[in-house]
Amino acid sequence: MAKAARKKKSAPKSPSGLARFSPRALYRRLRRSVLRVVFGGLAAFLALILLYSVVNPPITHTIWVEKRRLGDVDREWVPIEHISPHLARSVVAAEDARFCEHWGFDVHAIRSALESGANRGASTLTQQVVKNVFLWQGRSWFRKALETFITPVVEATWSKERIVEVYLNVAEMGEGIFGADAAARHYFGVGPDQLSAQQAALIAALLPNPKERSAADPGNFMRNRARQIMDGAATIERDGRSACFEH
C-alpha cells in the first residue's frame, strides 16, 4: 500500500522540460543576448571616446588603410602647444568657421547646403574627427547615422581644443601624409610650430582633396583658396571665434 502510494506520487512529470525551449522562451533568451551585445558595445565605445579625450589615438582606419596600400605613412603626433596657431585658425576657417559656436552640428551650414543642393560644406570639424578617428571614409547612411550619434558625445566629453588637436594630428594632408608635423616638414621643411600664416593657409587649402593638391607647388586655385583662408583665419581671430581652441 505504501509502495503503491509512493509510486503514484512520483508518477506525474513535466513534459520533458519542453517549456524551456518554447518559441516564446527562445525569443526572450535571444532578445536578452542581443541587448547584452548592444549595450556592451555601446559601453565599450563610450569608454573609447572617454579614453581618447586624454589619450592620443594610436591609429585610425584611414591611416591603417593607407599604410597597407603604400607600405608606410608619414605621421608624428604633436601636442597642440607645438603647432602654429596659424594652422589651427586656418583649418577652422577653411572647414568650420562657427566651430566655437555650435555643439557638433552647424545648423546654418546644413540649411545652406540643403538649399543650394551642395554635396559638401555642412560637415563640422567635430564630425570629421569622429569620422577620422572612430569610423571610416566613404558615404553610407549607416556610417552617417553612427557619426550623428557619436558627434554630440564627443562634444560633451572633449574640449574644443582637444577636438582641434586630434584633427590636426590625424587629418590626411597629402598622399601618405597625416597630421601637422608631417605636412609642415614635407611641404615647407619646417616644424609645425614654425608655419607662417601663408604656409598654414596653403596646408588648409589642401582639404578636402589632399591627394590631388600640393601646398608646395600650388596652382591658381590653391593660391586663391589660401588667400580666402588667410582672410577667414584673421577674421575669426579678430571676432574672438578662435578663443575656444587657442591655448
Please choose, from the candidates 182, 179, 166, 180, the residue with its C-alpha nearest in 3D space to the C-alpha of residue 133.
166
Non-local CB neighbours of 91 within 8 Å, separated by 6+ positions:
125, 164, 167, 168, 171, 203, 204, 207
Q: What is the pLDDT of residues 131-188, one digit of tens each?
A: 999 998 888 898 889 999 999 999 999 999 999 999 999 999 999 999 999 999 999 9
Q: Assign 120 a pLDDT band (cuts: 50, 70, 90).
A: low
Q: Are 104 and 155 in contact (CB under 8 A)?
A: yes
Beta strands, E only, the chain = 74-75, 177-178
48-52, 166-170, 205-209, 226-230: least confidently modelled range: 205-209
Q: Assign 114 a pLDDT band (cuts: 50, 70, 90).
A: low
Cell of 102: 555650435
Return the sign of the alpha-carbon dihedral for residues 90, 167, 85, 158: positive
- Per-residue pLDDT averaged across 180-197, rounded? 97
CA distance 208 to 197: 19
